[in-house]
Structure 1
């Protein structure tokens, strides 16, 4: 485990642990969170281009979505959630695993069904979800927990289906170019019609290509806002037509203004928990 840090989230201090080195399964990021919330803490999720597993290792975490349904235990949060939030109180200990949607297609066996929703992991993994959670709870260190989670993901990945190579290529181009891509050009590059790419990408990634590119661009932009850059600069350098365009995108994805998302508690842990992925959000 790489040395963790304590981060203030809202009014609480959270200890963050991360793996010491990259795992053997590409497209996976993991972080462990622990702390004690004296009062009820509700953290609105700021959407990001990944599917997430929340595995509660204590008894203090709930995850809900726009439907108002709250779930505990091991929960999958689909890509681009609408009004989802993590709710914690008391002793909170949680493993969060972020999966590239290309990988999630194999690991979870679902994609478009997960868009913007929360689903219990056992609905996708069956008894393997309970066994994995028991092993994680019994583990004595975050190093052991990261290893257990990686083994479970590797097994599911090896046994699962894979996305079309063309779909994986288009997603990779979106990430490399921070969402600033022309879908028509990518369609031509992989030799597919626009209609075919739209259909395959939507069914395997969970979003249309246009929406996915917008999400990747939004993720890059909000991390620059959180780093203290002005909305005008971020809009100009992130592929938005103007500052109003950025404002509309942030409101559509996060439900708040650029000024508010810049200080969102959800983003407070990102420089520590997800530092390995933050190069995609740098100018």
Structure 2
């Protein structure tokens, strides 16, 4: 029997609650969030190699803004977001789910390629399931019950949703293991596909072209090392960048910030508590 969910601390204005153990659903990680009493929360998103579900049940609202002026409130699905996204609100309680892109297709019932750099209301994808889980999370009296309810729904959807090609899963896993330091041509040869076929199937099922996916995995690893206090020169050398300038350009491309600024972002501080025990892009 699992032990109870437990509070992991407060950082950047968020109280973070972790489930008692890893999810039984492959490719799924969960964490609970509640905004503190020190006023509104307002943080910038640092891109990461996962699709995100936000399930709100507090007094909220949870508000997500993008630079185009588009705004989404309440339950939502976020694809591979970019640096112009802000998460803000007051009196928020929500459960966040990070989906490996190889699990997202089945759980969402839609390809992550339809979500690239976009926010979608969860109702648009799940219909009655979205309203039902929101109501049940609000009625639940403990985080342990909320995690269990969400896991049961995700498990049911994962079992009935469309699967990703095993070759695509293999390529994604290799990207994670290598921390993005792979050649797409070599991966295509390993699975016996042409480069063109790998690009097409990977893009349609994962949501990003293979090279950009590998860059995002590499960036995510580097960003967390920067946030841990490591110097940019050492991170660049150990993460597969040609030099420190190369790292600087990649960080700027993903976040519109310098490596030094990224290192101090509250988003990564929260990351270190909410998702530290399980890789956000892992398949299981």
Same fold flag (TM > 0.5): yes
Q: Deviations over 1:167-223 (max 9, x none)?
A: 111001001110011110000000000000000000110000000000000000000
Partner of 1:136: 137
The CA distance in 1 between the partners of 2:9 and 2:190, in whole Å, is 45
Output aligned runs, 1:224-263, within 5 Å: 224-263=225-264
CA offset at residue 69 of structure 1? 1.6
The CA distance in 2 between the partners of 1:68 and 1:94, in whole Å, is 23
CA offset at residue 67 of structure 1? 2.6
RMSD of aligned Cα (Å): 1.5
SS in 2 for 1:275: coil
TM-score, normalised to structure 1's length?
0.94
Partner of 1:43: 43
Partner of 1:185: 186
The CA distance in 1 between the partners of 2:6 and 2:76, in whole Å, is 26
SS in 2 for 1:180: coil
2:28/2:98 contact within 8 Å kept: yes
The CA distance in 2 between the partners of 1:170 and 1:33, in whole Å, is 32
Q: Between Structure 1 and Structure 2, how many residues are aligned?
A: 276
1:49/1:80 contact within 8 Å kept: no
Partner of 1:198: 199
Unaligned stretches of 5+ residues in structure 1: none
The CA distance in 2 between the partners of 1:216 and 1:114, in whole Å, is 18
Partner of 1:4: 7
Q: Deviations over 1:221-263 (max 9, x none)?
A: 0000000000000000000000000000001111100000000
Output aligned runs, 1:98-137, within 5 Å: 98-108=98-108, 109-137=110-138
The CA distance in 1 between the partners of 2:50 and 2:65, in whole Å, is 17
SS in 1 for 2:22: coil
Structure 1 segments, 4+ long, off by >4 Å, are: none
Q: Deviations over 1:144-177 (max 9, x none)?
A: 0001111111111111000111111100100111
CA offset at residue 275 of structure 1? 1.3
TM-score, normalised to structure 2's length?
0.93
The CA distance in 1 between the partners of 2:112 and 2:41, in whole Å, is 29
Unaligned stretches of 5+ residues in structure 2: none
CA offset at residue 68 of structure 1? 2.1
Of the structure 1 ranges 59-68 and 220-229, higher mean CA displacement relative to structure 2 is found in: 59-68
The CA distance in 2 between the partners of 1:203 and 1:279, in whole Å, is 21
The CA distance in 2 between the partners of 1:226 and 1:210, in whole Å, is 24
Partner of 1:275: 276
Higher strand share: 1
1:184/1:194 contact within 8 Å kept: yes
The CA distance in 2 between the partners of 1:75 and 1:201, in whole Å, is 24
Partner of 1:34: 34
Of the structure 1 ranges 227-236 and 265-274, higher mean CA displacement relative to structure 2 is found in: 265-274
